[in-house]
Amino acid sequence: MDAPIQAQSRSSCSSFPTVYGDEFKISVQNKFNDAQITTPEYSRSATKHVLLVAEEAIIPFTELHARGILESMHEYAPMCGGDRGARYVSCAILSCDSEEHLVALASDWFKLLLWPFKKAYMGQRPPASSDPAPTFEQGGPASFEAELYRRQGGTCAVLRLVDDRYWKKENEIDTGLITAAHILRRSILTCDDPDDARKTDMWVSTLDILKNFADIPDETIKSFDTMVDDPRNGMLLEASMHDRFNHFAWCLVETDARGMFSVKWLTGRPYGIYKAYKRDTAVFTAHSPTPRTDASTPTPTPTSVVPPNPDPLFLRIHGAIAHILCATGAADYIDKIFDRFDPKGNAVLSNGAGFLDLRLSLIDAGCSSHQLPPEPRGWGTQSQRPRPLSPNI
């Protein structure tokens, strides 16, 4: 029998309902390790259990439906975490014995997983055709972009367009601006400010949820800091496709064929240039068009060592998060929040911005907890606090 779990508060987000803490993680782990209950049994129970949350229930201080977050996490966990990911999400849901706790769990998954993911892909400077092409240093350490060019021959993995900064424009070859895309962004895989206890605490929580949701091996977790700019975490994409990838408008879904991924659009209709080519699979092998010979564009140095293809796990993680963000409306909601602030993160609050919007945005702008606005009147009263979980969960 699990011990009761008390609702917790975090110093940086003290007004947000939360169940995520050591006691909650122990409760989930105990359920997860119970070999007498199969994952399908847990999953069926979790599907029914989320119905405790009223359809109209909203995560406090947001416009997001709590049940939608819970159901989407439950639906798409197998996409990246397989049986173990599905089991983890089901056990987390079943560790909440009331609507209040389920809403708090949805709040945790929003602020500790979906928000950091969406934020990590925002604010990147759009590539320009005037940007220099990557250089290939003979005998020296290759850059992230150069390694991807070496693997894919300067070709977009989806559209098969070739970078015209490197290759001659030939009648049978379509060219375009090709850019290097990270599958998982740096702020997800590494803590950007390890000296900041608040940021470190939230990043560790994000990583813990992600590890269990996606069933990431311990050795992969330990190597995250070196994997950020590894070719297994990247691919070459045409510039507009790269932009849409960062907005979670499309993703790559693993097929039955090893190393083959299909292109899936999540925004209802394909974007711009994609419609002209209608490619439905991604290819990561190198092409061999004719190199340019003008002095302004260096020719890639041939090498017998071909960089590895993208890690399927990283593509599965991006795909699952993309599905959840789009299915719940969280992607559009977070975009709306950031539209209220200038690109430098300064608070320029427009009319109607919610309390969570303000606090999260100020936290991301670097404010400490004592600089945040006070809690709204009425929140934190006994009637509104999530009740402790009963001993009989």
Instruction: Render pLDDT for 113-163 as a digit per residue (tens, 0 to 9).
Output: 999 999 888 865 445 444 555 544 433 345 899 899 888 888 899 998 888
Instruction: Give the Cα-Cα-Cα angle 77, 78, 79 (nearest 5 degrees).
Output: 90
pLDDT (0 to 100) of residue 21? 85
Neighbours of 237 (CB within 10 A): 28
Instruction: Give the Cα-Cα-Cα angle 380, 384, 385 (nearest 5 degrees).
Output: 65
Residue with tokens 């969960």: 393
Backbone phi and psi for residue 165, each to the nearest 5 degrees, phi listed first: -80, -20
Q: Is the pLDDT of residue 334 over 50?
A: yes
What pTM, to 2 d.p., does this model score? 0.79
Q: How confident is the model over 193-227, as pLDDT tens digits? A: 788 887 888 888 999 999 999 999 999 988 888 88
Average pLDDT, stretch 358-386? Answer: 41
Average pLDDT, the chain: 77
pLDDT (0 to 100) of residue 197? 82
Q: Is the pLDDT of residue 37 over 90?
A: yes
Q: Is the pLDDT of residue 297 over 70?
A: no
Q: Are 359 and 369 in contact (CB under 8 A)?
A: no
Band of pLDDT at residue 323, cut at 50, 70 and 90: very high
Rounded to an integer, what distance in angstroms lies between the CA atom of residue 240 and that of residue 159?
Answer: 11
Environment class of 132 (CB within 10 Å of its CB; exposed 0-12, middle 13-18, buried 19+): exposed
Torsion angle, CA of 74/79/80/82, rounded to 10 degrees?
80
Q: How confident is the model over 16-34, as pLDDT tens digits? A: 678 888 899 999 999 999 9
- Joined together, the tokens standing for residue 265 give 């659009």
pLDDT (0 to 100) of residue 150? 86
- Residues sharing a CB contact under 8 Å with residue 140, sequence separation 6 or more, in sequence order: none
pLDDT (0 to 100) of residue 195? 82
Q: Is the pLDDT of residue 8 over 50?
A: no
Query: SS3 helix, strand, coil % of the chain, rounded to 5?
Result: 45, 10, 50
Of the candidate ranges 29-38, 238-247, 318-327, 341-350, the one whose mean pLDDT is the lowest: 341-350
Of the candidate ranges 165-174, 230-239, 343-352, the one whose mean pLDDT is the lowest: 343-352
Which is more confidently placed, 72 or 267? Answer: 72
Q: Is the pLDDT of residue 258 over 90?
A: no
Q: Is the pLDDT of residue 64 over 60?
A: yes
Residue with tokens 């070709």: 155
Task: Using a pLDDT cut of 90, give the percent of the chain over it.
Answer: 43
- Say whether 377 sits in a helix, a strand or coil: coil
- Residue 112 DSSP symbol: I
Rounded to an integer, what distance in angstroms lies between the CA atom of residue 317 and that of residue 313?
Answer: 6
Q: Are 64 and 118 in contact (CB under 8 A)?
A: no
- Residue 56 DSSP symbol: T
